[in-house]
Structure 1
């Protein structure tokens, strides 16, 4: 899958947030949040449930007004230039926003038409190809797996080539193989020049994807940096010899295979299953 480069006209950071605050009655959700996101990078906003991640994304995507502070997206103020912000972004929420009655291709054509783009059919076919959904394109989205549905959702978000995309918990509820598929799609977005801000509560997801990671806790950014910088916050590791045991992830992909059934006989990795069965019996 190859995703073409996105053209960014603006200068400076893609996203700038200063002193952002938001409360719901007596509950203070954001308490002075500050961060910047470089253009063409993947920025992970990491935090537990209720930390304020989705609230921050809603403010940045003009769905919610902040109580205090400022935020600029693609150079536009989210409070006073909301229309310009919306033209610069796309948002994929926690749940895939696909119409299950329509086919994958019909979902893409619909969004392209809503954006008043020329040749919506050609746009849909190109995105199906780029996200490895061509064979499933004529099937109803209701028949898609979780990973396929999420990839379709991200593909719909790319229609119109927005320079900035927000992914709110992009792999929540997905199985391990589907998560890897989505991770690959996100990486290729950044390689094509798209700025990605993703929220996640999965530590390994932030570690795998992000150029920079900000940890949001109780409404505040408590640390912000690259993975290498964050690791330096801990004492130096002691070097010890430890025999490495396979992780559950190693076992899972050894059993199912990294790319699934290669020869179409439904039994791509008999040897792995045999070895696993044999080891569990002994």
Structure 2
């Protein structure tokens, strides 16, 4: 049987519908007094909302895109040998979600032949949703309003740049270079997680960097930043979300930041 093909616009429409389904679950469980929190084998926390959200997305994809693979944070990966697969982080920022900090989101991405072609970051507690598809641009919606096109900043000098990050964990041998980069920038703030990168896409900050990330942490971020005119690589400068870290910039600053972080 011939596999059905879909346009990027159709896949984006589905990704937005998946985000709608996710928001219903995460919003209902956010700040719930009976939220169930357990610890995974890697010693990171997971809530009943994480699991319920990913399962809901998996069930929809099983009907809407049965031939596609799927990589999810909570229930594993079924993407081997697949040219198309979805990447799901049901709640990026679980620790924030647990503590009632509103900086968390559901991240949904589609990868085709190794390249991210669709991405959605939905953050109902912030009343924001960012999304992008290859060749279709990058947008943000605030409080259900009219989509606004994302566009990165034009800042070209490190000393004029605003940088945001999560924390100092995971930098190891690059910690001194990271600290030096922050000291060189005009402004630094620890926004953290997905939000740092979305602010780069919006042009509100110029650099967002995290030293240790999984594929589901960065796949959606990758295309939202790139379609806004920015660049997304690993900290070492490797293109794409497959290299275990994340660096988003407005593009003009990217090579300079990579050099500074890697001791050049």
Higher RCO (C-alpha under 8 Å, 6+ residues apart):
1
Which structure would you say has the larger Rg? Answer: 1
More strand by share: 2
Instruction: Report if TM-score (shorter chain) is over 0.5.
Output: no
Q: Normalising by structure 1, report the TM-score.
A: 0.25
